[in-house]
Amino acid sequence: MEDFYIVRLGNLYVEKLVDGFAEQKTYSMTNYISGARIFGDDFSKKIAEEIGGKAYKINLEEAE
């Protein structure tokens, strides 16, 4: 199973990325984890570094 990550800054989570002016990225944030966008390992670390947040691994378990 592939690992999934979300990016958090304070009490907010990255919801989506939008192309901004002059090739800069704009990050839309949400305060609900259910609205957080899922990223891969390297990309989540890059985004977290850019915005000063942290990347968190999501542990998925099979429901019985």
Give the residue ranges of the chain where pLDDT is below 70: 1
The strand ranges marked E within the chain are 4-9, 12-19, 25-30, 54-58
Euclidean distance between CA atoms 14 and 37, whole angstroms: 6
- Cβ atoms of 29 and 16 closer than 8 Å: no
| β partners of residue 10 | none
Residue 1: what pLDDT? 52
Q: What is the pTM of this model?
A: 0.80
Helical (H) or strand (E) element with 41: helix 41-51
Residue type, 50: E
